[in-house]
Amino acid sequence: MDFGLAAEFSPEEYRYQPEIYQVNDPEPDLVKIIQHLHESLDPRTVFACFGKIMGQYLPIDGVQMTFKRHQFNWGRTQGIKVTQQLAFSGEAANLTYSLKSPLTPSQSQRLQTMQTLVLLPLFNAIQFQDISQKAMYDSLTKLGNRHYYAESLKKAIATSSRHDNPLSIVILDLDNFKKLNDSYGHLLGDEVLSEFGQLLTSAIRDTDQAFRVGGDEFVVIVRGDVKAASVLCERVLTSISSHSLFEKYQAMTSLGVSQWKQDETATDVYERADKALYRAKAAGRRCFKVDEI
């Protein structure tokens, strides 16, 4: 048995072709399962189904897989280990099976056939997720982008309206960022933006969302009132003041806060936070101001 054989899937092979499945796999139930998996866009759900299918037809107790930035696990890790290297669209995938018993020659053949068929929906789901991530997130800071912010704020307002929960936004920008860019170059500017994105990610709560909406402008959607948003602002200011990169180049931030009011639009709450931001700048920067309801 040669389990080290690489399997290369071309884009043509990758696309779902029912007639191929019907010819290569005589199991009607398996064909139906594969067709159903092609409808799922969550990689972890598809991988869990992949593990269950392989365990149903073969003496497999567990499967682990690494592909791109993704790691998947299903079942148990003890038993006989069989590792394979696959390739898809030029990317290597490492796949390890945990077996209850050694595979017979016929079972080895079946593993290869099933693996090729059942992994296709997983690669499809991973690619869809990667494309979706690129469409929603800023590549430099790893925060949500302007489009994702607009959609998220609409949803947050709709939820707050239904449940009468407080909602606030914080607008931030980096003080004198253009001067820093002009003096030290765009590479340093990008590093500052990237570090600021990480700082925001660490400062917000799990219920909050941070976005880069353009240049050096950021927005945080806070699931709470202005008091909760003010605590976040204090946390950001404390973090940036003790950060070596920001301290070295004297890069700081100003922040503006507003709390959403019933029947107020996304534009309205943003404009009030923006006015609060300019008040913070007028007050000497390196601080935050709240637009009171």
For residues 154 and 266, membership in a common domain is answered with yes
* Cβ-based neighbour number of residue 61 at 10 Å: 19
**79 located within any domain:** yes
For residues 125 and 151, membership in a common domain is answered with no
- Alpha carbons within 13 A on the beta-carbon side of 151: 8
Asked if 253 and 237 touch (Cβ cutoff 8 Å), the reply is: yes
**139 located within any domain:** no
Q: Among 108, 134, 160, where does a domain finish?
A: 134
DSSP letter for each residue of 165-228: ---EEEEEEETTHHHHHHHH-HHHHHHHHHHHHHHHHHHS-TT-EEEEEETTEEEEEESS-HHH
For the chain, the domain total comes to 2
What pLDDT is attached to residue 27?
A: 57
Instruction: State the residue range of the domain holding 186.
Output: 146-290
Asked if 196 and 245 touch (Cβ cutoff 8 Å), the reply is: no
Query: Is 216 designated active site?
Result: yes
Name the 3-class secondary structure at 83. Answer: strand
**47 located within any domain:** yes
CATH of the domain at 205: 3.30.70.270
For residues 53 and 127, membership in a common domain is answered with yes
Six-digit token pair at 207?
């219920």
Q: Which pLDDT tens digits describe the chain residue by residue (293 residues)?
A: 333 333 333 333 333 333 333 334 445 467 777 777 777 778 888 898 889 889 988 999 999 999 888 899 999 988 999 998 888 878 888 999 999 999 999 999 989 888 888 888 888 888 888 787 778 999 899 999 999 999 999 999 999 999 999 999 999 999 989 999 999 999 999 999 999 999 999 999 999 999 999 999 999 999 999 999 999 999 999 999 999 999 999 899 999 999 999 989 999 999 999 999 999 999 999 999 999 76
What is the residue whose two structure tokens read 């489009």?
Answer: 147
**60 located within any domain:** yes
**127 located within any domain:** yes
**169 located within any domain:** yes
Direct distance between the N- and C-terminal alpha carbons of the chain, in angstroms, rounded to an integer: 72
Q: How far apart are alpha carbons 138 and 132 in whole angstroms?
A: 12
For residues 155 and 90, membership in a common domain is answered with no
What pLDDT is attached to residue 32?
A: 73
For residues 214 and 244, membership in a common domain is answered with yes
- Single out the residue of 166, 148, 164 nearest to residue 260, CA to CA: 166
What pLDDT is attached to residue 9?
A: 33
Asked if 252 and 240 touch (Cβ cutoff 8 Å), the reply is: yes
Q: Among 111, 134, 157, where does a domain finish?
A: 134
For residues 168 and 268, membership in a common domain is answered with yes
For residues 163 and 236, membership in a common domain is answered with yes
Which of 216, 225, 268, 274 is flagged as catalytic? 216
Q: What is the DSSP letter of 289?
A: E
For residues 279 and 150, membership in a common domain is answered with yes
**193 located within any domain:** yes
Q: What are phi and psi of 69, to 5 degrees?
A: -95, 10
What pLDDT is attached to residue 65?
A: 93
- Strand order of the β-sheet with 253-259 is 209-214, 217-222, 168-174, 253-259, 288-291
**217 located within any domain:** yes
Q: How far apart are alpha carbons 220 and 227 in whole angstroms?
A: 14
What pLDDT is attached to residue 293?
A: 62
Q: Among 107, 134, 161, where does a domain finish?
A: 134
For residues 185 and 244, membership in a common domain is answered with yes
For residues 254 and 282, membership in a common domain is answered with yes
For residues 188 and 285, membership in a common domain is answered with yes
For residues 210 and 90, membership in a common domain is answered with no
